[in-house]
Structure 1
Amino acid sequence: MIRRIAVLIVCALVMSGLGGCGRGAHSFAVQAVAAGVPSLAPFFDEKQGLGQDAAVRSMPVRGSLQQGDTPGLYGGTKKPTVCDVAKLKRFLTDPANRPKAVAWSGVLGIATDQIPGYLDRLTPVLLRHDTLVQNHDYKEGKATPYNSLLQAGIAILVDEQGEPAAKCSCGNPLRPFKGDASRISVKFADGNKKWNGYRASSVVAVRPAPRRMEGLALVDVDDPDTGITRPVGTTGKHDTTFDTRQQHAVPDLAGMTFGAARRQLVSGGLAVGYGGSALPADDAQVTASDPPAGTELRFGEYVMVSVAGGTSGGAASTPPGPTPSGPTLAPPTSTAPPSTSAPAPPTSSSPPSSPPPSSPTSEPPSDPPPSSGSPTTGSPSVVSHSPSTSAPVTSSAPLTSAPVTTSSAPVTAGASVTTGTPTTTVSATTTET
């Protein structure tokens, strides 16, 4: 009897605080972080100009969980760098700041002596979506975690799998949001007022790309008709550009597994949309796409897929294949004629040797200076683009088509998302970028 009374009391408290005692009633408290608003407990003094946010209109998403290689997920700019990685490195390696360095590296799962090499593999981007993360303040000598919603336009550093790693303006480390993106309760406080365009139904949480990327294909936030190819670990000096207006035909996906269909869409510069709050299983069979095969879309537009069945636990569960001897360039999928303004650059002769940023074991050498090569013609979203073959952007450089997708060795750890039922039905709609 005493136990029953205790259970009833606990249930009453849960119901009053969370709106119910049944499974699935829990909501995840999330603190809003608006662009340009200083952190109350930063790792780095924001007055020192470590990073700079931008004014960006949040773009809608089709599926609250998106992987880090999703075309158009992140933005960039041709203006001076939005994140001073060298300054952050000097700060965290200064013996006077060792307590902060210990706390910062502990969040990322690395040792303090691995901080320089880890930072060398991060890439600055601008959020194009209101994005859920696990943020960390620096309080009483420790990193204090809390869930937060970062407004579109905030500058962050992402790792080789496209996961947020640090907020540029304050240096606070970031980790993946661990809750359910469809059940959040956002608190707007401490100067972070609700921004125009905010919609609880259109936020995104980023999961790691299935493979470590060698480059990111970004959308210029100041000129959405322009795409920016940015090699991983660079801050903008080696950027090249492409035309996001170029049309890409939706491939015939019917009969493919979701994992294979996603890879084909991403390699063609198209984003993958789905219904529900969980990614479909990799081995779920695609039954239809909307728009249908043959429809032409511009870079980063969503293709909604319908799937059936599936037993594996997430879109990053594809078994690893053999390590390639070098990047493999996929053929262009666009129906537009290829650019003839410049030849494709030579590919690297060896795959990247750096480990996943979540558990690095060694520090890679610094990027070599780029050659005078031109961007490759193709149509991907994630680019195999070594700094040794990229070219700096100049004001007179013509726009080319989007670069070709390649990835380095597959990564299977830490990216599984469970669908919860053996059958997943995915809604079918389309959207614009």
Structure 2
Amino acid sequence: MTLRAFMHRIALLAIFTLLVSGCDHAAPVTAVKAVAAHVPSLAPFFDENSGLGQDAAVRSRAVQGSLQQGDTPGLYGGSKQPTICDVAKLERFLTDPRNHKKAQAWAHVLNIGTDGIPEYLDRLTPVLLRHDTLVENHDYKKEKAVPYNSLLQTGIAILVDEQGLPAVKCSCGNPLRPFKGDTSRISVHFDGGNKKWAGYERDAVVAVKPAPRKLERIALVDVREPARGIARPTGTTGEKDTTFDTKQPRAVPDLTGTTFAHARRELIDAGLAAGYAGRGVPPDSAKVTASDPPAGAELPFGQFVTLTVAGGGTSTTGGVRRPTTTPPPRSSSAATKTPPTGTPSSARPSGSSGSSGKPGKSSSAPPSSSSSKPGKPSSPPSSSTAPASPSPAKSSRPPSPPPSTRSSPAGTPHTSSAPPASPPSKPPPSTTGAPVTGEPASGDPTTTRPADGPSSSVAT
């Protein structure tokens, strides 16, 4: 081979390499270790034979959008069994002088000092996962917390913080942090006892980002009786739970013309979940052009409403910018219902439990804005993350009926940020968009209060 031919081949190889690398601007694939329910960790912080946490057998639910906020209605589940996580036992272990090294490593992951462990644990709430959930997990090795990305199976008991973020895996006490990778580019490894579990679906995996406001209570769906909702004040372990009917229908608000952030807030306040098409989350400022099901449709608590936004925008997932997907909404097989004419009262019923009673907790949630249009507040709800964009013009819409005031249905917890659905004037019609997994969505959404400062965030 002549020198000229050799140099020609080298040049062609270099060009090919540049073309291949230049075509792939996506984030690198993140290796993720599967963690199955009821399977002991190899290097736990806490002895799992001591019964610190109790996982459950739960079927994973379908999801529309792999990145969900910690206040998404129906994100977490609960149980009548109040001891799914023994927080007092974990506190005794971590404050025992004999375990000081573990306590130091544990506290360092959560950015607190060892003297702040009891107060931090007092603010956490035990829940059960209803989705296979991506987190940054930690083993305890050589007196240090060693991070690794993991996929926690549906049914695992965890503690969540005041913004709905996974904080501790109950059975082993391992600290958890938000997943930092691209949820659409992961490689899950099912090794050892963590074999691929029944019901695992790549499209049903979620990661959680913090709610824009601190939660006062979390509305859980009973994993054994999905028609039963559990309103659990944050920082409590079940002793102050109240229950509600999760089958009560909720009307989809009119979201056309609002921003994606505003629409998500309205859906959460209505007890519904905001879904989106494509892999990337739409920007907060993206304008909503349609929802599926449309405004006025009645759905059970926690059902996803897919939002379509105006084209041409970009979104960020795991630090990688992607075009926003804006397909036309699919036709809903169920009939559209007329929006309810009543306006929920913003007053909370006496005796509702909105606080755990612990120091530093607000005793009540901020009042909701009164509504001048069914399903749509007159101004965007307060949120630390929602953009300060004006509400869409309403001059082109027909006049709204005057608001009316009613009291909450008996037996249903009334929250300031998520009023109960208005009772229908005729027998409730069949709901649309029933859950895919066979576990009916249900209940009251989470109650929130403004955060004391800017909330931490995960790249979306």
- The whole-number CA distance in structure 1 between the counterparts of 2:72 and 2:340 is 17
2:344–2:419 contact (8 Å) kept in structure 1 = no
1:251–1:294 contact (8 Å) kept in structure 2 = yes
Q: Does 2:245 correspond to 1:208? A: no
- The whole-number CA distance in structure 1 between the counterparts of 2:248 and 2:341 is 9
Report deviation, 1:408: 3.0
Letter of the aligned partner of 1:345 in structure 2?
G
Letter of the aligned partner of 2:230 in structure 1?
I
2:252–2:267 contact (8 Å) kept in structure 1 = yes
Output one character per residue of 1:270-320: Cα deviation in whole Å (capped at 9) or x when no partner. 000002233222111111100000000000000000112668979xxxxxx
Classify the secondary structure of the residue corresponding to 1:409: coil
- The whole-number CA distance in structure 2 between the counterparts of 1:165 and 1:220 is 21
Letter of the aligned partner of 1:407 in structure 2?
R
- The whole-number CA distance in structure 1 between the counterparts of 2:22 and 2:39 is 34
Q: Does 2:421 correspond to 1:415? A: no
Q: RMSD in angstroms over aligned alpha carbons?
A: 3.6
Residue in 1 that maps onto 2:222:
220
Counterpart mapping for 1:43-192 below 5 A: 43-192=45-194
- The whole-number CA distance in structure 2 between the counterparts of 1:114 and 1:74 is 26
- The whole-number CA distance in structure 2 between the counterparts of 1:284 and 1:374 is 38
Residue in 2 that maps onto 1:364:
none
Residue 345 of structure 1, aligned match among 325, 348, 351: 351
Normalising by structure 2, we get a TM-score of: 0.70
Letter of the aligned partner of 2:413 in structure 1?
T
2:53–2:171 contact (8 Å) kept in structure 1 = yes
Q: Aligned in 2, Cα 1:247/1:334: closer, same or farther, shift over 3 Å?
A: farther
Report deviation, 1:82: 0.1
Residue in 2 that maps onto 1:30:
32
Counterpart mapping for 1:293-304 below 5 A: 293-304=295-306
Letter of the aligned partner of 1:70 in structure 2?
T
Normalising by structure 1, we get a TM-score of: 0.74
Report deviation, 1:415: 1.8
Residue in 2 that maps onto 1:325:
none
Residue in 1 that maps onto 2:41:
39
Report deviation, 1:380: 6.2
- The whole-number CA distance in structure 1 between the counterparts of 2:214 and 2:263 is 19
Task: List runs of 5+ in structure 1 lacking aligned partners.
Answer: 315-332, 356-372, 384-399, 419-433
Classify the secondary structure of the residue corresponding to 2:451: strand
Q: Between the two proteins, what is the percent identity of the paired residues? A: 64
Residue in 2 that maps onto 1:269:
271
Output one character per residue of 1:332-351: Cα deviation in whole Å (capped at 9) or x when no partner. x9789999xx9543788999
Number of aligned pairs? 355
Bigger drift between 47-56 and 23-32 goes to 23-32
- The whole-number CA distance in structure 1 between the counterparts of 2:275 and 2:236 is 29
Q: Does 2:423 correspond to 1:376? A: no
- The whole-number CA distance in structure 2 between the counterparts of 1:232 and 1:293 is 32
Bigger drift between 302-311 and 123-132 goes to 302-311
Report deviation, 1:381: 6.1
Task: List runs of 5+ in structure 2 lacking aligned partners.
Answer: 1-9, 318-338, 363-409, 421-441
Letter of the aligned partner of 2:139 in structure 1?
D
